[in-house]
Structure formats: C-alpha cells, structure tokens
Amino acid sequence: MIGVIVWSSADREKAVIWCEDHAALAYLQGRENLTNPANWPQPGDLVELDSEMAGQLRHARRVALISEREYAHLPDLLRTSTPAEPGLRLVASNPAVETRCRSHDDAEPQVAVAG
C-alpha cells in the first residue's frame, strides 16, 4: 500500500501515515518497522507499507521510502482546511483520549478519519 507521512517525530520514533485506501490512519513506531532504519520518514514523504490491525489501531510495517518530501504541502493543507473544504473530517472521537491528550504536552494526534 502507498501512504503519505502526515506527522512524524524522529526523536520518539513515531509517525502517522495517511494511506491510499482512505481507511484508518496507520501508526509507525520504532525503526524496526522501516526497511532502511537509518532514514526516519518526514511529513510529506511518500512511502510504501504493509499494515496490520492490533486492537483498534492500524500499525505500519515494512515501511519503505518511495519519494522524499513528495507531498510536503499535505500536512499544512490538512491543518488549514476549512469545514467548507475539508481535507479530512473527524468521524469518531473518544473523550477519554482527548482529555488524556490535553493533559500531556507532547501527545501525538488521536483522531479517526474518513476520506
């Protein structure tokens, strides 16, 4: 499957991937899930990946970089989209998760989306 990195933290070895099937976002955690562990993906990078469901989370496995910064504008586009022209829309929310995230300064995104 093909995806685009929409959020990334090399220090924490975590990333969020928007996949071509427009299903749940895929979460990448740890360099062991990269085909080239020396090169951590950045927002806008086009990647190829396998995915695996674990509970209700979709995990990215065997992530390979296809093109660096191919879609560098995408994270900003998604952040600035308006309700009249949504890039993504919230389809589910968990108040317990939202409360927990607000209590942590470094919380990563916790949303479910539909295309």
33: domain CATH number is 2.40.50.140
The pTM for the full model equals: 0.65
Query: Which of these, 67, 56, 69, 71, lies nearest to 24 by C-alpha position?
Result: 56
- What is the rounded distance in angstroms from the CA atom of residue 45 to the CA atom of residue 41? 6
CA torsion through residues 79, 113, 26, 68, sign: negative
Residue of higher predicted confidence among 64 and 69: 64
92 domain residue, yes or no: no
112 domain residue, yes or no: no
pLDDT score for 69: 79
pLDDT score for 112: 47
94 domain residue, yes or no: no
Residue of higher predicted confidence among 22 and 40: 40
Is residue 49's pLDDT more than 50?
Answer: yes
Number of folded domains that form the chain: 1
pLDDT score for 2: 94
107 domain residue, yes or no: no
- Alpha carbon 99 to chain centroid distance? 21
Confidence band (pLDDT; 50, 70, 90) for 105?
A: very low
59 domain residue, yes or no: yes
| Domain carrying residue 59 | 2-81
pLDDT score for 99: 41
- What is the rounded distance in angstroms from the CA atom of residue 24 to the CA atom of residue 69? 22
